[in-house]
Amino acid sequence: MMGILWNLGAFLLALGILIAVHEFGHFWVARRCGVFVERFSIGFGKALWRKVGKDGTEYTLAMIPLGGYVKMLDERVDDVPEEKKNQAFNNKALWQRSAIVAAGPFANFLFAVFAYWVVYLIGVPAVRPVIGDIAPQSIAAEAGISNGMELKSISGIQIADWESVNMAMISHIGDEEMVVTVTEPDTEYEVQRILDLTNWSFDPDEERVLTSLGIAPYSPAITLVISQLVDDGAAIAAGLRLNDEIVAINATPVTEWQQVVDAIRSHPSQALGMEVLREGEMVLLTLTPESKTQRDGDVIGYAGFAPKVEPWPESYRINLQYGPVEAVGKAAEKTWQLVTLTFDMVTKLVTGDVAIKNLSGPISIAKGAGMTADYGVVYFLGFLALISVNLGIVNLLPLPVLDGGHLMFFAIEAVTRRPVSERVQDIGYRVGSAILVALMAVALFNDFTRL
C-alpha cells in the first residue's frame, strides 16, 4: 500500500511540475504578445486555491491534477469589450498566435535541458559500456563484436554509459542495420561493426534491447557467498546464514551463481538438498523455495537471498559531471537525443514498426516516477526530463485538440490566407478527441496487463 501511495505522490509531483512548465510557456509568450490571460490553471474541476494577481489574471490550483490550461481573451469564446479587442488572442498576427501555441512544447524541451543541466552539475555515477559476453550466433556475434570491446558510438551518436547505449539502440527498431563503433579490448583502436537488423525481433516488455542483440554488459564476478537474506524467507527457514558459500545443490557441484538461480527457479515448493561451506565446515541443509507466479502465468521458485558481488574495477567507473558551461552543451545534446528518439518512436508507432502494445500510460509513468524518486533527486530529474520531452512531442502531434493541431490549422491559414472555418475546426476537434481517447484507452489497457 505504501508503495502505491509513494508512486502516486511522485507521479502527481512530476505531473504538476511538467504541466506548470508547459502552461507557463503558453502564458509567458501570450503576455509578451500583448494577449490578456484570464486564467492560469493547474488541474481541472473545482478550484482548491485561487488568487487574482496584479496583472488581472486568476491563478488557480484545481482538484483534478491531470492537466492544465491558460484561458486567454478570445472573441470566438466570449464577448470582448471594444477597448480590450486588441488584447484578444484571435486578433493577433498569425506568427504571434503560432508562437503562443508552440511555446508550451518548447517550454517542455527547455525544461529538459535545465533538468539535465542540474543532473550534470551534480554528477551521475556510471560505468563504461564494456561488453562482458556475446551470445553465440546472435546478431552482435555475426557482426564481429566480441567480449571486452567498449562501445563508443552508435550510428554517429557518441555514448559514454549504458543508458546512452540503450537509448541509441532502441531508436533503431524497424531499421535494417545499425552502425556501431567499438574499441578493441585493452586498446584505444576504434573499428566499425555493422549489425544486420533485418531479422531483429525485439519486444520491450519481454527482454532488454541488449539481450535481444546478444550483448551482455561487463559486470563484476558474482560469488557463491550469501550476502543478503530476506526476513521470513525460505532461505532463513532452511537455516542459511550470511557468508555461507554454496558448494552443491542436490549433490551436484555448483561453480556459477546462475546454476543456483536455475535450480531454485525450476523447483517451486520442492525440497532441494544444499551443501554450504560455513566457517571452514561443510553443512547440509534442505531448502524449499517459495512459489511465485509470473505475469505470463509461469510459476517459479523464490528463496530470498542474494550473493556477494565483487567490486567494480576503478578503471570502469566514471562520473558524468561537468562545469556550469560544459553542462549546458551536454544537457542540450542529451535532450536532442531524447527528442529524436521520441519522434522516431512515434513515427514507427504510426507505421507499425513499433507495436501498439508498447504504448504506456499513467500507471507505467507513476511506477517510473516512484522508482526514480527512490534512487534520489538526480534520477528523478532525469525521469522528469524524459517525460517532459515526451509531453512536448505528443503535444506537437497534428491532432486538433493538441498544440500540434492548432499549428496545423495556422499552417493552412498561412497558405490559404484565411482562417480555417469554425465548422471544420469543430469536426477536427471531435475526431482528434476520439483518437486521443482511443490512444489513452490502449495505453491504460497496456498498463493493466503489465501489473
pLDDT digits (tens, 9 = 90+) for 52-92: 888 888 898 888 777 788 889 988 878 888 888 889 888 89
What residues are paired with 215 via a beta bridge? 134
> How high is the pLDDT of residue 253?
93
Measured distance CA(199)–CA(197) in Å, rounded: 5
Mean pLDDT computed over 23-31? 93
Q: Which amino acid is at 424?
A: V
Predicted model pTM: 0.78
Q: Judge whether 124-220+311-320 and 222-309 match in fold.
A: yes
How is 375-410 classified by DSSP, letter by letter?
A: H-HHHHHHHHHHHHHHHHHHHTSS-TTSHHHHHHHH
Task: Please name the amino acid found at residue 412.
Answer: I
Helix (H, G, I), strand (E, B) or coil at 198: coil
**Given this model, what pLDDT does residue 278 score?**
93
Which of the following CATH numbers is that of domain 124-220+311-320: 3.40.309.10, 3.40.50.300, 2.30.42.10, 1.20.120.350?
A: 2.30.42.10
- Confidence band for 24, pLDDT divided at 50, 70 and 90: very high
Provide the sign of the torsion angle of the four alpha carbons 236, 238, 241, 244, taken in this order. Answer: negative
Q: Which residues contact 214 (CB under 8 A, 6 or more apart)?
A: 134, 135, 137, 138, 139, 140, 141
CB within 8 Å of 47: residues ≥ 6 apart: 41, 60, 61, 62, 63
Contact between 260 and 254 under an 8 Å Cβ cutoff? The reply is yes
Q: What is the DSSP letter of 353?
A: S
Beta-carbon neighbour count of residue 376 at 10 Å?
A: 10
222-309 folds as Pdz3 Domain (2.30.42)
Beta-carbon contacts of 407 under 8 Å, excluding residues fewer than 6 positions away, are: 98, 101, 102, 396, 398
Residue 181 has which C-alpha cell?
Answer: 563503433
Q: What is the dihedral of CA 80, 86, 90, 91, to 10 degrees?
A: 130
d(CA 352, CA 46): 40
Distance CA 38, CA 55 (A): 10
CA distance linking residue 306 with residue 227, whole number of Å = 6
pLDDT: which is higher, 423 or 248:
248
CA distance 128 to 217: 9
Flag whether pLDDT at 154 surpasses 80: yes
Q: Are β-strands 177-183 and 190-196 bridged in parallel, bridged antiparallel, or unpaired? A: antiparallel
Instruction: Quote the radius of gyration of the chain (alpha carbons, Å).
Output: 27
d(CA 367, CA 370): 5
Lowest mean pLDDT among 8-12, 297-301, 318-322: 8-12
Q: How far is CA 183 from CA 146, 151, 154, 376, 426, in A?
A: 10, 7, 13, 33, 57
Q: Does residue 96 surpass a pLDDT of 90?
A: yes
SS3 content of the chain, % helix, strand, coil (to 5): 45, 25, 30
Residue 360 has pLDDT above 60, yes or no: no
**pLDDT recorded at residue 66:** 72
Residue 324 has pLDDT above 90, yes or no: yes
Whether residue 129 is predicted with pLDDT greater than 70 in this model: the reply is yes
Which letter does DSSP use for residue 232 in this model? T
Q: Is the pLDDT of residue 285 over 80?
A: yes
**Torsions phi, psi for 298 (to 5 deg):** -70, 145
Of 115, 117, 98, 91, give the one whose Cα is nearest residue 21. Answer: 115
So what's the pLDDT on residue 196? Answer: 92
Packed helices 162-170 and 324-351: angle between N→C axes, nearest 10 degrees? 30
Q: Residue 361 has what pLDDT?
A: 45
314 is catalytic: no
- Pull the grid cell for residue 147: 567480449
CA distance 235 to 304: 6
Stretch 28-46: mean pLDDT, rounded? 89
- The domains of the chain are located at 124-220+311-320, 222-309
d(CA 64, CA 42): 9
Single out the catalytic residue among 23, 142, 190, 207: 23
Alpha helices in 33-129 (DSSP H): 94-122
Residue 8 above 80 pLDDT? no
Given a cut of 60, is residue 181 above it in pLDDT?
Answer: yes
Cα distances (Å, whole numbers) of residue 224 to 80, 230, 249, 301:
77, 17, 12, 18
Rama region for 159: left / alpha / beta (φ>0; ψ in -120 to 50; rest): beta
The number of CA neighbours under 13 Å toward the Cβ of 396 is 20
DSSP 16-59: HHHHHHHHHHHHHHHHHTTPPEEEEEEEEEEEEEEEE-TTSPEE
Lowest mean pLDDT among 50-59, 377-386, 405-414: 377-386
Phi and psi at 39, nearest 5°, equal -145, 135
> What is the dihedral sign for C-alpha 405, 411, 415, 421?
positive
The per-residue pLDDT for 44 is: 80
What's the mean pLDDT when you consider all of the chain? 84
Percentage of the chain lying above the pLDDT 70 cut? 87
H or E segment to which residue 341 belongs: helix 324-351
Single-letter amino acid code for the residue at 330: K
Query: Using one digit for the tens of pLDDT, what is the confidence trace for 416-447?
Result: 988 888 888 788 778 877 776 776 666 555 55
